[in-house]
Amino acid sequence: MANYSSFLSFFVVLLCACNGVSASLSKTHYHSTCPQAFSVIKKTVVEAVKKEARMGASLLRLHFHDCFVNGCDASVLLDDVPGKINGEKTAPPNNMSLRGFDVVDTIKANVEKVCPGVVSCADILAVAARDSVVAVIGGPTWDVRVGRRDSTNASFDGAIANLPAPNSNISTLIEKFRNQKLTRVDLVALSGAHTIGQARCVLFRDRLYNDSDIDPSFKQSLEAGCPLSGNDNKDFPLDVATPTLFDNQYYKNLQQEKGLLHSDQVLLNSSITSHFVNRYTSSSTRFFRAFAKAMIKMGNVTPLTGKKGEIRVNCRKVNG
Ligand code: HEM
């Protein structure tokens, strides 16, 4: 009997691992300790997105930048503490770029009011990312498993090493995703997040003036706002055609050589990934399905569970 049940649990763990579902996270983790957790997070996200539509994009990106550096452990939210924490917020891929920290503080404060010390900041990021996509017009939904705990440290160097840069070529993108156990399908599906949100001129200037696979009218429409020098921090929509809709227009843009970032356009130009771009161009249902599946996988990247880490009281600081 004992042998049979251990065989069964081994099988379940194996099945979960193959699906990208972490065996230690569950949908019911807060059922008895904080039944209001999901509704409080959702309400705060909906209010924030109503106030500023772009916030949906910013919260989605925060979860991605958390998970790619030491797993989904809210390390991205820790402020620098001289001599103790050399945090991720000030690392070049995040500095002056990540947004939404104040909204996360508000979500956390609202959750703390109903169940103090119970809900982790890492789970808040995972749930808020899903709620953000749902709050943007047209976005798909998925079940978020919870039970992640928060780190007691962060990694400035990890942010530089693990986060993909906008001038990355296809092999670098595939490698950075593979390092998180994410496939090339996940890479193409998750890049579809660029159907919403904005990017600064300084991050696509090289593409604008050096790449040949760029539509001439699209290039021309960007040149005045993003000249060869100046306007570095001016924002432009990542999806030129339907910037506020969560749809498969991002892939259609790539077909017309209207991807904003070099790292977007290379997905179509490489035979390793173009197949998936074509698939999501022709079917938003397939894009949504792949996106939801990949978000679940990304949310399960090496979470801290059990007795590891802590439940931070303030998402910006370690306890005590
Ligand atoms: C494939 C590699 C990726 C690269 C190279 C990349 C790069 C970038 C860059 C350079 C920006 C603009 C930042 C700025 O202007 O300061 C950006 C914005 C954004 N990224 Fe990505 N990204 C990638 C993948 C992802 C993934 C996997 C997601 C989420 C699942 C994501 C979600 C977003 C969103 C929503 C925005 C807009 C944020 C806002 O408007 O505040 N990105 N990305």
Give 276 Cα–ligand 1 centroid separation in angstroms. 19
Give the residue from 163, 191, 213 where a domain finishes: 163
226: pLDDT strictly greater than 60: yes
Q: Grade residue 19 by pLDDT with cuts at 50, 70 and 90.
A: very low
100 CA: nearest ligand 1 atom: 41
Of 133, 163, 193, the domain-final residue: 163
Q: In whole numbers, what is the pLDDT of the chain averaged over residues?
A: 94
Residues 33 and 143 placed together within one structural domain of the fold: yes
Q: Are both 176 and 290 inside the same structural domain?
A: yes
User: Which protein residue has the closest C-alpha to ligand 1 atom 8?
Assistant: 166
**Amino acid 320: pLDDT:** 86
Residue 3 inside a domain? The answer is: no
Flag the least confident range among 22-36, 53-67, 217-231: 22-36
* Residue 283 and residue 186 share a domain: yes
Check whether residue 155 and residue 274 sit in a common domain: no
Nearest of 311, 310, 306, 312 to residue 25 by alpha carbon? 306
Q: What is the pLDDT of residues 130-182, one digit of tens each?
A: 999 999 999 999 999 999 999 999 999 999 999 999 999 999 999 999 999 99
User: Does some domain include residue 6?
Assistant: no
Domain boundary at 163, 178, 205, which? 163
Compute how many other C-beta atoms are within 10 angstroms of the C-beta atom of residue 280: 26
**Torsion angles phi and psi, residue 85, rounded to 5:** -125, 115
Assess whether 48 and 147 both reside in one domain.
yes
Closest CA to 124 of 29, 18, 24: 29
Integer Cα distance of 120 and 114 in angstroms: 14
Q: Are residues 68 and 127 in the same domain?
A: yes
Tell me the C-alpha distance between 1 and 300, whole Å. 31
Q: Kindly tell me if the per-residue pLDDT of 58 is higher than 50.
A: yes
257 lies in some domain: yes
Tens-digit pLDDT profile for residues 43-57: 999 999 999 999 999
| Cα(223)–Cα(214) distance, integer angstroms | 12
- CA angle 197–200–203, rounded 5-degree value: 115
For residue 95, give its domain range: 24-163
- 130 and 53, same structural domain? yes
pLDDT tens, position by position, 103-126: 999 999 999 999 999 999 999 999
Classify residue 269 as left (phi > 0), alpha (psi -120 to 50) or beta.
alpha
Question: pLDDT tens-digit profile of 173-219?
Answer: 999 999 999 999 999 999 999 999 999 999 999 999 999 999 999 99
Q: Are residues 114 and 189 in the same domain?
A: no
Active site residues: 65
Q: Residues near ligand 1 with C-beta < 6 Å?
A: 54, 57-58, 60-61, 64, 97, 99, 164-166, 168, 173, 187, 190-191, 193-194, 196-200, 203, 261, 263
Ligand 1 centroid distance, CA of 30 (Å): 30
What is the 259 CA–ligand 1 centroid distance (Å)? 13
Nearest ligand 1 atom to the CA of 204 is 10
Q: Are residues 178 and 157 in the same domain?
A: no
Residue nearest to atom 24 of ligand 1 (CA): 191
Of all residues in the chain, the percent with pLDDT exceeding 70 is 93
Please determine, for residue 10, whether its predicted confidence score (pLDDT) is greater than 50.
no
CATH of the domain at 188: 1.10.420.10
61 Cα–ligand 1 center, Å: 6
Both 143 and 200 in one domain: the answer is no
Question: Which residue has the CA at smallest separation from atom 1 of ligand 1?
Answer: 191
Check whether 24 has a pLDDT greater than 80. Answer: yes
Q: How far is the CA of 15 from the centre of ligand 1 (A)?
A: 31
Domain for residue 7, yes or no?
no
61 and 87: one domain? yes
Q: Is 81 a domain residue?
A: yes
Q: How many domains are contained in the chain?
A: 2
Task: Based on the fold, state whether residues 208 and 280 are members of the same structural domain.
Answer: yes
What residue's CA is closest to ligand 1, atom 17? 199
182 inside domain: yes
